[in-house]
Structure 1
Amino acid sequence: MSKAIKLSESLINDAVINGKAQHRSAPKQIEYWARMGKIVDENPDLPSTFIKGILTGIEENKAGDISDYKFG
């Protein structure tokens, strides 16, 4: 379900710039920020880079891009 919401011009401009750098549309960039913000807010003890790594790992697993980890 999608809904129209009002956002500040500066947030939209930041989303356009950051989205282009990460190959996302402005709406997708704002969705990404919201998702990351929610996860970081729910897990204040975890660094955002760790959270990004977990999310990347989940998507790699879904895509079948996995291998056994060898300890030592």
Structure 2
Amino acid sequence: MSMPVRIDDTLYDQARAQAQAERRTIAGQIEFWAMVGKAALDNPDLPTDFVRELLIARAEGPTLATPFVAEGKRD
């Protein structure tokens, strides 16, 4: 369900620039920021960058995932 929301012009301009860089719609960029922010608030012990990368990895799914290789276990 879509709902109109008023936001500051500066935030809108920042979202537009970031959306273009990450190939999202402006609304999609703001939704992504909201998801990252909510997840970060729900998990205050995790760094925000980690939360962001985790959400991106989950969206990519297993087909684009790179297998984890622990340090010292490389061939």
| Range of TM-score over shorter length | 0.7 to 0.9
Gapped regions of structure 2 (runs ≥ 5): none
Gapped regions of structure 1 (runs ≥ 5): none
Paired residue for 2:56? 56
User: Residues 1-72 of structure 1: matches in 2 within 5 Å?
Assistant: 1-60=1-60, 62-65=61-64, 69=68, 72=73
Please state which structure has a larger fraction of its residues in helix.
1
- % identical aligned pairs: 30
Instruction: Indicate how the Cα distance of structure 1 residues 20 and 44 shifts in structure 2: closer, same or farther if over 3 A, else same.
Output: same
CA contact (8 A) 2:36 2:55 kept: no
Instruction: Give the alignment's TM-score, normalised by structure 1.
Output: 0.75
CA RMSD of aligned residues (A): 2.1
Q: Alignment length, in residue pairs?
A: 71
Taking the aligned partners of 2:27 and 2:63, their CA distance within structure 1 comes to 28
Taking the aligned partners of 1:67 and 1:13, their CA distance within structure 2 comes to 33
Compute the displacement of 1:59 (Å): 3.0
Q: Which runs of 4+ in 1 moved over 6 A?
A: none
